[in-house]
Amino acid sequence: MDKYEALVERVCRASGLEKEEIDRRVEAKRAKLSGLVSKEGAAQIVAAELGISFDQEKLKIKEINDGMRRVNTLGKVINISPVREFNKNGREGKVVNLIVADDSGNVRVVLWDTNHIYLIEQGKIKQGDVVEIANGNVRTGEIHLGSFSDIKLSKEKIENVIEHKVYESKKFKEVKAGDALKIRAIIVQAFEPRYFEVCPECKKKATEGECAIHGKVESEKRALINIVLDDGTETMRAVLFGEDIKKLGLTDEEIFDIHKFEAKKLGLLGEEKIFLGNIRTNVLYNITEFNVNGVDEINTDELIKELETKTG
């Protein structure tokens, strides 16, 4: 069941209306808004018009949609990243990321409040704990917790949590920011790699051999490459880093030598592969782009089975 279907099911339960009626209202709402809102977004508007509020409802992770506010959920902590300090535009602070999972999926939870971060630093919330999350805001597929949000230990037990990343199979014309996407697409354009340096300790960006956390370091050179993908419905700009660039068939030498990259560039065009990653909004350019974190070759046998299932 995808996010839209899960959302419609909840609206049906709360309103007593049939699914066909909710679907009709959703399509009418999208038509009224000239298709500028996603199906999930239209379903949320329909729910609000029906007087349905999910503010106090505890959602499964699979049911959480981008743009939701005051989200409540329950999950097991399966990963905690190191607490990171930052200094941005004169504002200093800390931030820490958790991965929280239930039996429907998993999600990144970003903690910004010092009281929440203190719970991590003191080991009061640790990997393996089940936590309750309240009043979270969902942005680009992540739950962000600020000073008006809450996270606390729960006595509830959760079995069969999904620890692997869950990707949805969609077309580019259907995606929105926050989607975790798996798609078969053709490379139609490739741009020169861009290079940057990272700290060998924390892998964060280093400037002229200087890390904001570890000071003077022997920085490591990294690359990113932008490509344009076409899935038959429309094109989308995608960005790849590190090992995923090599999965396009490029060697380190071809990645870090512009002349050798140019010689190999044309060979990339027309290549069809399976791409996995997250749809995000590039705030700087105000465009939707595909942040790739996995590239697979097309498995012909699996493709045939998938087509047989759809036509069967």
Span 180-194, pLDDT tens digits: 899 999 999 999 999
pLDDT at 206: 83
Range of the domain at 211: 168-311
Per-residue 3-state assignment (H helix, E strand, C coil) for 48-92 = HHCCCCCCCCEECHHHCCCCCCCEEEEEEEEEECCCEEEEECCEE
DSSP track, 183-195: EEEEEEEE---EE
Residues 235 and 111 reside in one and the same domain: no
pLDDT at 241: 93
Total domains in the fold of the chain = 3
Residues 179 and 90 reside in one and the same domain: no
User: Which residues have C-beta within 8 Å of that of residue 216, sequence separation ≥ 6?
Assistant: 209, 210
294 close to 193: Cβ distance less than 8 angstroms:
no
Answer with the one of 110, 145, 164 that is the final residue of a domain. 164
Residues 185 and 160 reside in one and the same domain: no
DSSP track, 198-251: E-TTT--EEBTTEETTTEE---EEEEEEEEEEE-SS-EEEEEEEHHHHHTTT--
202 close to 212: Cβ distance less than 8 angstroms:
no
Which residues of the chain are under the pLDDT cut of 50?
A: 1
Residues 106 and 30 reside in one and the same domain: no
Read off the tokens for 166: 């869950």
Residues 197 and 289 reside in one and the same domain: yes
Answer with the one of 37, 53, 69 that is the final residue of a domain. 53
Residues 115 and 214 reside in one and the same domain: no
pLDDT at 308: 65
pLDDT, tens only, 134-158: 999 998 788 999 999 999 999 999 9
Dihedral, CA of residue 229, residue 104, residue 145 and residue 200, to nearest 10: -60
Residues 210 and 262 reside in one and the same domain: yes
- DSSP symbol at 103: S
pLDDT at 5: 84
Residues 150 and 184 reside in one and the same domain: no
Residues 13 and 97 reside in one and the same domain: no
216 close to 210: Cβ distance less than 8 angstroms:
yes
- Cβ atoms < 10 Å from Cβ of 4: 18
Answer with the one of 109, 141, 164 that is the final residue of a domain. 164
Residues 189 and 75 reside in one and the same domain: no
pLDDT at 140: 77
Residues 222 and 301 reside in one and the same domain: yes
Residues 306 and 221 reside in one and the same domain: yes
pLDDT at 123: 94
Q: Which domain CATH number covers 83?
A: 2.40.50.140
